[in-house]
Chains A and B, each alone.
Chain A
Amino acid sequence: MEREFFLLFSTVATGSGFLVVLAKNPIHSALALVTCFVQIAALFILLGSPFLAVIQIFVYVGAIMVLFLFVIMMLDVRKEARSRFLTKGAPLGFLVILVLAAEMFFLLTRNAVFSTNIVDGVPTTPSIKELGLTLFSEYLLPFEVASVILLVALIGAVVLAKTEEDDTATKDELAGGVVK
């Protein structure tokens, strides 16, 4: 039963992952990415970490993708949807990706280490209590550093998105000079 669920979730995740890259309209690829994230959250439950699945839904789907959709809807994407699809260096990039994919494929399929289950007995799902105790005792310093990083990102985003009233003239000049 677990195997069938894994195949279902991974098929939908892969398909929507391809759709993210192949869609012309950024809104379509954002919605495909939401689908992909929900499937990955389901896979996290299969992996015995329901807390991470909830965090995935809250943070990725609830916060990050909504932020993306806000930005997409603030901008005019109709013009962009008609523009060219690939970059100029596409053949070289394609070669790099092909090499990367072949490397990963051979590593994962020709290696016997990963194809066996070496867990002794029935795997137990670690409780959220254990997770919290480890996070706040052994990993307290990284946790605090992460909170400082989030604060810096918050301040940085506010500063970047703020409009300065005093130098609008320079900005208009710059915009006029740069737009083709």
Chain B
Amino acid sequence: MIPVSWYLILAAILFVTGAAGVLLRRNVLIVLMSLELMLNSVNINLLAFGHHFQDLRGQIIAIFVIAITAAEVAVALGILVALLRNKHSLEVEDLAILKG
């Protein structure tokens, strides 16, 4: 039987890795992929606690997280394709047209 803290530590490592990718990388695609990594580490936490307390709600919330992630990725990649049609750059710092 694995203690729940092992899962929590693994999820924390993956979350910090994803946060590093979001904050430090320049490529928009890699920023989006790091976001996926962060969402997945949260899912590990939800399932670990659901298993720990023998509660189904962890799994149900994880299902909702996965569904919302699918929607988010579809919209994000749509925005990215529309943006790249006008502005041929994949770098985060060049995509600041909403900045005042």
Contacts and interface: CB of A to CB of B under 8 A. Distances in A.
A100 to B, nearest CB: 6
A108 B15 CA distance: 14
Interface residues of B, number: 75
Contacts of B98: none
A152 interface: yes
A80 B28 CA distance: 10
Interface residues of A, number: 91
A139 B67 CA distance: 14
Contact of B40 (A37, A67, A97, A174): A37
A138 to B, nearest CB: 8
Contacts of A52: 43, 47, 59, 62-63
A15 B78 CA distance: 30
Contacts of B64: 142, 146
A21 B20 contact: yes
B26 A115 contact: no
Interface string B35-61: 011001001100110111110110110
Contacts of A114: 3-5, 8
B60 to A, nearest CB: 5
